Every structure is written in structure tokens, then in C-alpha cells.
Amino acid sequence: MKHQSESKKGLFYILAVFIIWGLLPAYWKLLRGVEPVMILSYRVIWAFIVLVILMVLFYKQVNLTAPLKDRKNIILFILAALSLFSQWFFYILTIVTNHILELSLGYYIYPIIVVVLSRIFFREKMCGYTAAAFLLAFAGVIILIFGYNSVPVYGLGVALSFALYSTVKKKLKVDSIVSTFYEMLFLLPFAVGYIIYKEFTGSGVFSGVEFNPGTFALLGGGGVLTCITLLLFASGARRISFTAVGFLQYISPTMALVLAVAIYRESFGAGNWISFGFIWAAVIVYSIPAVRAAVLKRFAPGTE
């Protein structure tokens, strides 16, 4: 009974995270007019503040200095911070430039790119299903490029930078909260410096022509949401199977796709249907081994 209760709690947390992530493009759309780097700078600052509060309240026993004794960890913290900032940057660009469809594409192909990078950096075996999924996703992107005579730079940027971030995090043998704390800490001087520079040059949030308290509140809220979702994800992922997390992660790009087409009226023509058809097929093929493993486990003798 306790295990079932924990599983239900984990499922609730993970669902909440992916639904929030799916709706976040609409949240960031409210900050139209604020430049992307400014949004990211405030996101770093507020995320850092919330992380410090969480660690003081719930992680009092964590030894923050221990990971710094290994120089390799410091390098990985910096790489994680840079790749995370890059992912946030491309993410915000897809929204402020009305390319949410590219954001959806990026998150659909992200898991497949992670597997490819795992093959390169960790020598993990790639099964036939994964290879086929990669080829299908690659074909979908090529069709998109030739169909619109342009490369989906923002979407590919989201997928590649997030996959690199995940790869670096896999190499880090440090608690996820501590790791995220150092990622924000390394980005903090640049974020603070940029905001100070913009305020002194008269183009900051406070020194602009019209100061809007609502804009400042939204910038702060973005950092808070960042930390809440990170905490929920870390807590939920420990309580349910990796297979379940893998399936549920497609909630976010699907919601982003619906937002792009139904709410923000981004064009979704025949070329998009064909391209995304290949990518959806890639997702299905990629998921077959996990589905098979889950079914065998469910009906294996002695699991009742």
C-alpha cells in the first residue's frame, strides 16, 4: 500500500511538471517586449534565490563544499551551466519569435539525441529501434528544411543544448539540488552584471521608459516556477519507473504544439504534417522497447 501511495504521488508530481512545462510558453509570451537575455538573467537570479531558500529549509545537512574538492566536478558544473543557459536561450527565442512549433519539434527529438550522445560519450549500446527512430527523426527534420527552405535552428538548438545538458548531468555524481545550485551560482555574476549594465544604460526593467510592476513580477515568477518544477521532477522521478517518465515527457511538446497552432495561429501546413509525421513515428519506434519491457514485467510470473 505504501509503495502504491508513493507511486501515485510520483505520478502526480511528474504530471504536474510536464503540464506546467507545456503551458510555460504561454507564460513567457506575456513578457513580449522584454529581450531574451534580460528574461534569462532574471530567471537565473530568482532561481538561485529560491534554491538557496529551499536548501536552507529542506537540505540543511548538505555539504556544499564537498563537490568542489574534485576539479572535474567544477568543470562539469560550468559545462552544465553553459549548456543549460544555451537551452533556455533557444527556448525563449522560439517563443518571442513565434516559433513554438520548433520548440515542440526540439522536445520531441531530444530523447533520441540523448541516446545518440550516450552512445558517443558512454559507449552505451544503441538497439535497432533507437537507430531506426533516429533515422526517422532525421528524415523529418530534412523534410522540414527542404519544405520551408530553412533550418529549424531554434528547435534544433533546444534539442542539442538540452541533450548536452543531460549528458553532462549524467557524468556528475552529485546531488541534483547541489548541482543545480552551482549551475545557477556560476551563471549569477553574468546575470547580475548584465542587469546592472542594462539599468545604467537606461534600457533595464526599472530604468526603461515605462516601468511595469507586472513585468517584474512575471520575471520573478519564472525563476520560482523553474525551481518548483525542478524539485517536483526530482521528487517524482524517484517514485515512478523511468519508462513512465519517458512516456509522460511527450505531454509538454504536444501541449506546445497545440498552443502554437490553436492559440498563436502558427502555420501548420502539409509539409509540417509530413515532417511531424516522421517525428511522431520516430517517437513510437523509440518507445517500443520500453513498452515491451513494461508489458513483460507486468505479466511476468510472480508480479501479482
d(CA 283, CA 142): 16
CB 114 within 8 A of CB 160: no
pLDDT lower than 70: segments of the chain: 1-4, 60-62, 148-149, 208-211, 234, 237-238, 241-244, 246, 294, 297-304
Per-residue model confidence (pLDDT) at position 261: 93
pLDDT tens digits, 35-67 = 899 999 999 999 999 888 888 887 766 677 888
Per-residue model confidence (pLDDT) at position 129: 81
Per-residue model confidence (pLDDT) at position 54: 80
Per-residue model confidence (pLDDT) at position 115: 77
Per-residue model confidence (pLDDT) at position 297: 67
Residue 287, in any domain of the structure: yes
Q: Which amino acid is at 60?
A: K
Residue 24, in any domain of the structure: yes
Per-residue model confidence (pLDDT) at position 277: 92
Residue 61, in any domain of the structure: yes
Residue 304, in any domain of the structure: no
Residue 188, in any domain of the structure: yes
Residue 198, in any domain of the structure: yes
CB 100 within 8 A of CB 94: yes
Residue 126, in any domain of the structure: yes
Please write down the HEC assignment for all residues of the chain.
CHHHHHHHHHHHHHHHHHHHHHHHHHHHHCCCCCCHHHHHHHHHHHHHHHHHHHHHHHCCCCCCCHHHHCHHHHHHHHHHHHHHHHHHHHHHHHHHCCCHHHHHHHHHHHHHHHHHHHHHHHCCCCCHHHHHHHHHHHHHHHHHHHHHCCCCHHHHHHHHHHHHHHHHHHHCCCCHHHHHHHHHHHHHHHHHHHHHHHHHCCCCCCCCCCCCHHHHHHHHHHHHHHHHHHHHHHHHHCCCCHHHHHHHCCHHHHHHHHHHHHHCCCCCCHHHHHHHHHHHHHHHHHHHHHHHHHHHHHHCCCCC
Per-residue model confidence (pLDDT) at position 304: 46
Give the domain range for residue 168: 2-299
Its sign, for the CA torsion 94, 95, 99, 104, is positive
Half-sphere exposure of residue 55: CA atoms within 13 angstroms, side-chain side: 18
Residue 224, in any domain of the structure: yes
The domain total for the chain is 1
Rounded to two decimals, what is the model's pTM?
0.85
CB 233 within 8 A of CB 240: no
